[in-house]
């Protein structure tokens, strides 16, 4: 049951790691410019509804600032999204395990 408490943190941590790796590789390599699309696809409902509109609402046309802002938004909001998914999974598994124990 201790594992259930860690599910949201594990999902958010894996997402944060993926985002950092993708944006670092995309920023360091000139051939990996479309690599952040992976993060967009992984965060899809959240990225389409929240991250992209917020990204376009904030003026960020100053070279590398655009990449930093994009990485920050995807890291923070995407990790919150995955934490929320983890909470739903945790609650669902807790209810299933309690129903089976009866």
Number of other residues whose CB lies within 10 A of the CB of residue 8: 19
CA–CA gap between residue 43 and residue 80 (Å, rounded): 10
Q: Is the pLDDT of residue 10 over 90?
A: yes
Classify burial at 60, counting beta carbons within 10 Å of its beta carbon; exposed 0-12, middle 13-18, buried 19 or more.
middle
Average pLDDT, the chain: 84
Length of the chain: 102
The pLDDT, as a whole number, for residue 90 is 92
CA–CA gap between residue 5 and residue 67 (Å, rounded): 33
The pLDDT, as a whole number, for residue 101 is 54
CA–CA gap between residue 19 and residue 96 (Å, rounded): 32
Q: How many CA atoms lie within 13 A of 95 on its CB side?
A: 6
Looking at per-residue pLDDT, the higher value among 32 and 43 belongs to: 43
What's the average model confidence in pLDDT over 8-27? 91
């Amino acid at each position: 049951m201790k594992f259930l408490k860690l599910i949201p943190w594990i999902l958010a941590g894996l997402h944060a790691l993926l985002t950092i790796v993708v944006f670092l590789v995309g920023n360091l390599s000139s051939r990996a410019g479309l690599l952040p699309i992976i993060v967009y696809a992984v965060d899809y409902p959240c990225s389409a509804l929240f991250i992209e509109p917020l990204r376009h609402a904030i003026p960020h046309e100053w070279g590398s600032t655009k990449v930093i802002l994009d990485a920050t938004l995807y890291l923070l909001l995407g990790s919150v999204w995955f934490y929320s998914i983890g909470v739903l999974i945790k609650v669902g598994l807790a209810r299933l395990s309690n129903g089976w124990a009866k």
